[in-house]
Amino acid sequence: MRAHAIAEALRNQTAELETVSERAAERARETGDVLNLRTRDLTVSSDRASARVEDLVEILHRRTGELLEAADNATVRTHESADALKVRADHLGAVSVEVTGRIDQSG
């Protein structure tokens, strides 16, 4: 009788263990499914972010080129203005010397 009770208790515990194991396995599958879904969502988000960053890099590259071109043009114009001012200053200096010479001769 005692052996029969022990065997019955073991059967009951085995049945409970099977039930708990099945629930644990189901929860593990559900968790795996959720993780898989979240991983896919993160991959999509990452791909979108990566594409957006690539777009921004392209925009920055293009704008940098435009700024460099504008800076080069400004530098050329600044040099041209400086050259023109030097020519005018030289001319004014020559005119000033000539005027001073005429004033000295008439004076």
| pLDDT of the chain, 107 residues: tens digit per residue | 788 888 888 898 998 999 999 999 999 999 999 999 999 999 999 999 999 999 999 999 999 999 999 999 999 999 999 999 999 999 998 888 888 888 888 76
CA separation for the pair 80, 74 (Å, rounded): 10
pTM listed for this prediction: 0.53
C-alpha pair distances (Å), 79 with each of 27, 65, 72, 82, 86: 76, 21, 11, 5, 10
Q: In whole angstroms, what is the distance from residue 84 CA to residue 87 CA?
A: 5
